[in-house]
Amino acid sequence: MDALIVSLQSVWADSGFQGMTGGNVIMLIVGCILLYLAIGKGFEPLLLANIAFGCLLGNIPKTGFTTDPGVMQVILYGINNEVFPPLIFLGVGAMTDFGPLIANPKTLLLGAAAQGGVFIALIGAMVLGFDLREAAAIGIIGGADGPTAIYLTMKMAPHLLGAIAVAAYSYMSLVPLIQPPIMTLFTSKADRQIKMDQLRTVTKFERIIFPIFSTIFISLLLPPVCSLIGMLMLGNLYKEAGCLDRLNDTAQNALMNIVTIMLSVGTGLTMEAEKFLKYDTILIICLGLVAFAAGTAMGVWFGQIMKIASGGKINPLIGSAGVSAVPMAARVSQIVGQKANPANFLLMHAMGPNVAGVIGTAVAAGTMLAMIGPAGK
């Protein structure tokens, strides 16, 4: 009997129950809530479900994930050493059609304008007491680009990764709720009714030369984001070349799915109670909303400028798609425009600034890295 009691005591001493803290319990509840939002409400389920489950795993005591060799160490290595974000960009590039941007290069300006929210949030974060690198990482939430947010955060402020990643992916999933009120606030009904001319046909040569030229130019200008831009454009080259179908299929499907699992679960693993349950987390989530809303507003404002400059030929709604939530932000532009005018078809026009936003967010991240430098330097 004594031996049984000793054995049970040993099991209890080695169990996670014995090491549970109040913070762990709270984070397990947070993980379950995020799972409900992902599965029950459909908020960015492919990403948020994995982040939520990673949060559950990361708050089980005594697992040894951070010290013992194994698959979790491999996942955390990919997060900590910037392996997964470039691979995600490879898949994104393979699924992205840059045709609307090539057909109407002026929409690149809308993607650039929408990055204004990044710098507004950066200033706000510094006012609230974050240091410059932390503020830069928080600001990038406004680009609505999860992989870029993770990439920059790991370079600038890795201790904030969990909060920034959750904020970035949460706001990406809430694009259809957040953007329409801002879009209608800064446009009139007449603005929203504007029909745009059909885009010209883009040649195969233009589609092939675009990723090559973009990689060379942007990487020479901002070497810190060469891996992101390079992999984005390599994936797009797979799509457009016409002779790389097997690689394109792998990048779009198998590789993209595998890396998405690794990246999102690894992000959830970083949401440990002692790192996540801080007052700073609330500030980050609020600042992320400010960044995203400001980016949307600035895109629409610049759309108004382009409308005036074009003599009323550009619908300012497409400026809201300058954030890089592809293709959801472009679809929202289409939906809002079609409510005002059922004959309005803005989707392809909005895809121009939308894909420009992907490039713009990476350029914003590279600019901050070049100007501020990564942590530890």
Average pLDDT, the chain: 90
- What phi and psi values does residue 369 have, to the nearest 5 degrees? -65, -40
Contacts of 8 (CB under 8 A, 6+ apart): none
The amino acid occupying position 176 is: P
What does the pLDDT read at residue 137?
93
Confidence bin at 377 (pLDDT 50/70/90) = low
Q: What's CA 289's distance to the chain center, in Å?
A: 13
- For residue 219, which of 368, 366, 375 has the smallest C-alpha distance? 366
What does the pLDDT read at residue 80?
83
What does the pLDDT read at residue 376?
67
Confidence bin at 170 (pLDDT 50/70/90) = confident
Only one residue has tokens 């990403």, namely 47
Residue 139 lies in a domain: yes
Long-range contacts of 31-39 (CB under 8 A, 24+ apart): 31/55, 31/56, 31/59, 31/268, 31/271, 32/56, 34/166, 37/173
pLDDT single digits (tens) 278-298: 889 989 989 989 988 999 999
Confidence bin at 25 (pLDDT 50/70/90) = very high
d(CA 350, CA 207): 18
The total of structural domains in the chain comes to 1
Residue 238 lies in a domain: yes
Domain holding 253, by residue range, is 22-56+70-372
325: left (phi over 0), alpha (psi -120 to 50) or beta: beta
Task: Compute the average pLDDT of residues 187-208.
Answer: 93
- For residue 88, which of 240, 261, 288 has the smallest C-alpha distance? 261
Contacts of 284 (CB under 8 A, 6+ apart): 138, 141, 160, 163, 164, 167
d(CA 342, CA 364): 36
Residue 197 lies in a domain: yes
Q: Is residue 176's pLDDT more than 90?
A: no
Rg of the chain (C-alpha set): 22
Residue 233 lies in a domain: yes
Residue 4 lies in a domain: no
Residue 377 lies in a domain: no
pLDDT single digits (tens) 34-80: 899 889 988 778 888 999 999 999 999 988 887 788 888 999 899 88
Q: Is residue 14's pLDDT more than 80?
A: no
Confidence bin at 327 (pLDDT 50/70/90) = confident
Residue 329 lies in a domain: yes
Residue 64 lies in a domain: no
